[in-house]
Amino acid sequence: MSDATALTPAIAGRYLESLLAGQPQRAASPLAWLKALRAEAVERVGALRLPTTRDEEWRFTDISLLGKTSFASALSATYLEAADVAPFYIEEATTRLVFVDGIYAPELSSPNAGSGTHSGVVVSNLTSAMAAHAAAIKPHLGRHAPFTNDAFAAQNTAFLHDAAVVIVPRDVSVAAPVHLLFIATQKEVVSTPRCLVLAEAGSAVTVIEDYVVLYQPRWQEEAHFTNAVTEVVLADNAHVTHIRVQREGSKAFHIANCAVSLGRASNYQSVSVALGARLSRYNLNVMHTAEGATCALDGLALISGRQLADTHSCIDHAQPHGTSRQLHKCIVGGSAHAVFNGKVMVREGAQRTDARQSNRNLLLTAKAHIDTKPQLEIFASDVKCTHGATVGQLDSEEVFYLQSRGLTDAAARNLLTYAFGAEIIDRIPIASLKQQLEQTVLEQTASLP
C-alpha cells in the first residue's frame, strides 16, 4: 500500500466513529450491565483506529478500500417474502433465526423459547431471551471476544442491541442443527451480527452460521459491510459443531471475530467456508481453558477475480492434554489473494498437548497470490506438534489421468480443483448443506480462473 492511499490514524478513527453516528436511535436498554458493556465499547471505538498493513496482524490484508466507502446502519427492516428466503433454508434445521441487514426478522424465524419446551433449549434473539435468561447470558456476552484492542470487535459491541442466542442446557443433545441466517439486502449498509452459543455441561449441538445476500437486482454490484462477532462457550464435556458459511456478494466487506472457550474434555468441531466478499477476514480464536479439550478447525477459501480472503486462527493450548487438528485450504484464481495465519500456542504447563496443523493452497493462475504463515509457539516440553504448508498448481499427472478417461483438459482441471475443495466440504455433517455447497463449489470451480 502506498502512503498516498493509506488512511491516517486520525481519519481511520473518525471513520469508525462515523459508523457509530449512523446508528439509529433505539429504546434504552433497561439492563445496566449491557449498557455499560456498550459504553465501554463506544469508548474503545473512539480510541482505536482502523488497522493498516503496518500492523503486524494486518500485514497482508490492506483494508484501505473499506475506509474509502461509507456505510450506515439500516434504518428500516427490508420486508422479505418467505418464498425469497426459502432457498436458503436448511431442511435438517428445525430452529432458525433470521436477521435481515442485522435486524431480527421474527416472521422468517423459527425460534425455541426454552422455558415452555420440554428440553429447555433456547434458540432466540437476545431481546426476547434476555428476560428469562439474563443470568446465563450475562457472564458470557462480550466476555470472550475481547474488543479492547480490536476496532472491529469494539464497533460490533458498541452496536450490541440484539443477537442470536443459543443455550443448550446440561446433558441435552440437540439432534437437529440450529440455523443462524444473516441476509444482506441493502447497499452501503453496515450490519453487526452477533451470536452467542452456550453449551452447558454434557450438552451437544450443531450450529450453522450463514451469511448470504439477497440483493435487489440493481444493487448486485454494490457493497455492504458485515462486521460479525460470535462467542461460543463449551462447558465441561460439551460438544459443539460449528459450521460457518460466508457467501456474501462480490463487492461486500466481511470482517468477523469468533471466540471459542473450551471447558474440560469438551469438543469443538468447526468447518468454515469463505466463498464471497470482495474482502473478508475471519479471526477464529480457540482457548483451551481446561484439561483434555479437543478442537478441529477446518477451513476452505475459494476465491477468484479480485477477492481477498484472510483467515487468522489462534489455538491457545493453555491447559494440558488438549488436542487440536486444523486443515485449512485455499483455492485462488484470477488475481485473488488469500491469507492464512495459523497460530498454535502451547503454554507452559500444557503438557501432553497434541496439535497438528496443515495448510494447503492451490494457485490456479500466475496472478493468484497466497500469503501463508503457520506459527507454532511451544513453551511446554512434553508435546506432539506438527505443522506444514504447501502451495502448488494442479498435478499434470492427475490431469492426464482424467484426460485419458475422456475428460477435456478444462473439465479435468475443474474436477481436480473441485475435489481439492470438496475434502473440506465433506466434513460438514449436514447432507443438504453439503450438497448445496458442493454444487456451489462445482459451479465456481467451473468458472475459474
Partner 1 sequence: MIYQDSKVLLEVRGLCASVNGVEILKDLDFTVKSGEVHAIMGLNGSGKSTFAKVLAGHPAYEVTSGSVLFEGQNLLALKPEERARAGLFLAFQYPIEVPGVGNGQFLRLTYNTVQKQRGKEELDPLEFDDFVRDKMKLLEMNPDFLDRSVNEGFSGGEKKRNEILQMALLEPRLAILDETDSGLDIDALRVVAHGVNQLTTKDNAMVMVTHYQRLLNYIVPDYVHVMEAGRIIKTGGKALALELETRGYEWVSAEHQAAASVPV
CA 191 to chain CA centroid, nearest Å: 14
The span of 135-143, 192-200, 342-350, 411-419 binding partner 1 (CB under 8 A) equals 411-419
Distance CA(382)–CA(42), nearest Å, equals: 44
Does 262 help bind partner 1 (rule: CB under 8 A)?
Answer: no
Does 92 help bind partner 1 (rule: CB under 8 A)?
Answer: no
Per-residue 3-state assignment (H helix, E strand, C coil) for 144-176: CCCCCCCHHHHHHHHCCCCCEEEEECCCCECCC
Q: Where are the alpha helices (DSSP H) in 317-395?
A: none
Helix then strand then coil, % of the chain, to nearest 5: 25, 35, 40
* Number of amino acids touching partner 1 (CB under 8 A): 25
User: In terms of CB distance, is 339 or 362 closer to partner 1?
Assistant: 362
Beta strands in 75-186 (DSSP E): 95-100, 103-104, 122-125, 164-168, 178-184
Does 405 help bind partner 1 (rule: CB under 8 A)?
Answer: yes
Does 302 help bind partner 1 (rule: CB under 8 A)?
Answer: no
Sketch the per residue contact string, 337 through 376, with partner 1: x for CB under 8 A, - otherwise: ----------------------------------------
Does 110 help bind partner 1 (rule: CB under 8 A)?
Answer: no
In the complex, minimum distance from the CB of residue 308 to partner 1, in angstroms, rounded to a whole number? 25
Does 273 help bind partner 1 (rule: CB under 8 A)?
Answer: no
User: In terms of CB distance, is 376 or 402 closer to partner 1?
Assistant: 402
User: In terms of CB distance, is 75 or 419 closer to partner 1?
Assistant: 419
Does 389 help bind partner 1 (rule: CB under 8 A)?
Answer: no
Among 145, 415, 428, 430, contact with partner 1 (rule: CB under 8 A): 415
Does 397 help bind partner 1 (rule: CB under 8 A)?
Answer: yes
In the complex, minimum distance from the CB of residue 342 to partner 1, in angstroms, rounded to a whole number? 21
Place of cell 485449512: 328
Bridge partners for 94 per DSSP? none
For residue 265, give the H/E element and its range. none
Distance CA(405)–CA(103), nearest Å, equals: 52
Distance CA(37)–CA(143), nearest Å, equals: 9
In the complex, minimum distance from the CB of residue 421 to partner 1, in angstroms, rounded to a whole number? 7
- List interacting residues with partner 1 (CB under 8 A): 395-398, 400-409, 411-412, 415-416, 418-423, 426
